[in-house]
Amino acid sequence: MSRIGKKPVPLPQGVSATVDGQTVTAKGPKGELKFVVNEEVLVKMENGEIAVQPRDQSKVARSKWGMSRTQIVNIIQGVKDGFEKKLEINGVGYRAALQGKNLQLSLGFSHEVVYQTPEGITITVPKPTEISIVGIDKQQVGQVAAEIREYRPPEPYKGKGVKYADEKIVRKEGKKK
């Protein structure tokens, strides 16, 4: 049994949600998001809360039950507060800068890497070695952060590269004489 799925999703102040068949739509101060719930899961609006239940006790329905509730919580949290990921750049001469809406990265290549910001995402560069990614869709914010990190992931010897702000790099010992 899903312990996560059993709990109904409360609607916070300032957020309105509607359930239309298998589509859950949330509107809040930051915008509007939709999530289409899988057919194996039943979703209902009951006295100001969204309840999620499996249609039957099959393994497939039970496995999608908790995930569906978590996705609904994420869209509600996204339209209320939004999501943010922070990246750090380590390395001599490695830096980031905004060029209009695009992110320009100097990562030790012979050329500059230009990342085009997708719709619905805001990228800010508070310092040349820090990148902040903000948006209302948790999946999209994480995907953008992963794509930027992919250009130069941190290496284990000196830790040079792009890493998440909360990521710990497991360091390796170098060669011995």
Q: How confident is the model at residue 48 (pLDDT cuts 50, 70, 90)?
A: confident
Question: 25-38: per-residue pLDDT in tens?
Answer: 999 999 899 999 88
Q: How confident is the model at residue 2 (pLDDT cuts 50, 70, 90)?
A: low
Q: How confident is the model at residue 62 (pLDDT cuts 50, 70, 90)?
A: confident
- In the chain, the domains with their CATH numbers are 3-80 (3.90.930.12), 83-164 (3.90.930.12)
The pTM score is 0.86
* % of the chain surpassing 70 pLDDT: 99
* % of the chain surpassing 90 pLDDT: 55
* b/e 131-161 (16+ beta carbons within 10 angstroms → b): bbbbbbbbebbebbbeebbeebebeeeeebb
pLDDT at 172 over 80: yes
Q: Write down the pLDDT at residue 84.
A: 95
